[in-house]
Structure 1
Amino acid sequence: MKIRSISIVIIFLAIFVLQACGSLDKRLNPIQPKVFIDAIEIEDASLSGLTALLTLNLENPNNFALNAKGLDYTMSLAGTNILSGETQSNISVPALGSGKIEVPVRISYASILETIPKVMETGIASYNFSGSIHTRLFNIPFDKTDELKLPYIGS
């Protein structure tokens, strides 16, 4: 009888440990968040480029809150890197929810001018916005690729 009671306790402990490991695995292998560019607001212009405020919308598909200490990012337009940077802003996005973060960016006129022939040739402005969100334990990558079809401008 005593051995049977101990066996039952061991089985319940094993189930509990396996359940805890499954939960831990979800935290160690999080689902990639979705990051959308919500708005770009030009703040300043100089002879070399623009300073803008990029508003990002982060969607957290994980069943745990995303608390981060910053992110790094790169954006390319028509295959040309037009901006990159890093922010140390605290980010908090609820589990299965979304949140916004504002990121200051610097865009050089030279990088924009480099993309114009490519975009005019194809009529499509393809872009990629990627980077990673920095948590205390690990970095979570994000990647968004899309394209904008430009209206035909002819004579």
Structure 2
Amino acid sequence: MIIAKSLAKQFSFITAILFLLSGCATMQLNYQDPSVELISFKMLPAKGFEQNFEIGLKLTNPNNFELPLNGISYQLSVAGSTLAHGVANNIPTASAYGESRFIVPLSTSLLTGIKVIKALMDSQGQEVSYQLKADLDIDIPLIPTITIIEKGLIPFAHKSL
């Protein structure tokens, strides 16, 4: 009799767990990846053997819920060469169907910066290609870190985008 009650409790527990898991499996999060765009680029004074920059980014949220970020890591390549990288953690939340704009620091070694400057000079005033890779750490359960790659052209004749 005791064994039958124990088996009945175990069966009920397992059935309840399976029921809950099947409910989670059918639950759909209507989620779309956000986009990140490079909207400005500013060279700052060099410090020692390090060249610093500030870039402006625009995060666009196509979802019907806000996207809070724990942080972002990013890498900027210009003319096919990695120019600089950086991380930031004070990123404003993108509201539902909204955008957030923010400025983040970038840094590179002076030698790498010289290589990219040479590539820019070789472009002879033409547009130069760039690639921005951003890893977004979204502060929402079940949404992993998202990698976004944006490519575009920098109009070399202008100082900023």
TM-score normalised by length of structure 1: 0.68
**Is 1:128 aligned with 2:131?**
yes
Please list every run of 5 or more consecutive structure 2 residues that lacks an aligned counterpart in the other structure.
1-22
**Matched positions, count:** 129
Would you say 1:100 and 2:101 are equivalent positions?
A: yes
Give the secondary-structure state (helix, strand or coil) at the position aligned to 1:32.
Answer: coil
Indicate the residue corresponding to 1:85 in structure 2.
Answer: 86
Kindly tell me: are residues 119 and 45 of structure 1, through their superposed partners in 2, closer, same or farther at Cα, counting changes over 3 Å? closer
Residue deviations 1:10-35, cap 9 Å, x none?
xxxxxxx79x723x2x2xxx322221
Give the C-alpha shift of residue 99 in structure 1. 0.6
Secondary structure, aligned partner of 1:69: strand
| Match of residue 21 from structure 1 | 27
Alignment partner of 1:36 is 2:37:
yes
Distance across 1 between alignment mates of 2:35 and 2:109:
26
2:42 and 2:83 map into 1 onto residues whose CA distance is 16
Q: Residues 1-20 of structure 1 correspond to what in structure 2 (within 5 A)?
A: none
On the 8 A contact 1:83/1:105 being kept in 2, the answer is yes
8 Å contact kept, 1:70–1:91 = no
Among 140, 144, 151, which residue is 1:145 paired with?
151
Instruction: Give how far 1:44 is off.
Output: 3.2
What CA distance in whole angstroms lies between the structure 2 residues aligned with 1:120 and 1:43? Answer: 19
Aligned to 1:48: 49
Unaligned 5+ residue runs, structure 1?
Answer: 1-16
1-side partners of 2:43 and 2:155: how far apart?
Answer: 23
Moved more, 45-54 or 67-76: 45-54
Output the CA distance in 2 between the equivalents of 1:102 and 1:149: 20
Kindly provide the amino acid, as one letter, of the partner of residue 75 in structure 2.
Answer: T
* Deviation digits for residues 102-131 of structure 1 (CA, Å, limit 9, x no counterpart): 212213332232234544555441100012
Distance of aligned partners of 1:149 and 1:93 in 2 relative to their CA distance in 1, 3 Å threshold: closer
1:114 lines up with 2:115 in the alignment: yes
Q: CA RMSD in A?
A: 2.6
More strand by share: 1
The alignment-based identity, stated in percent, is 22
- Deviations 1:72-117, CA, capped at 9 Å, x for gaps: 1111011111111222224300011001122122133322322345
SS where residue 93 of structure 1 aligns? coil
Q: Matches of 1:50 and 1:117 in 2, distance apart?
A: 15
Give a deviation string over 1:46-93, Cα, whole Å, max 9, x none: 342332332211111122110111011111011111111222224300
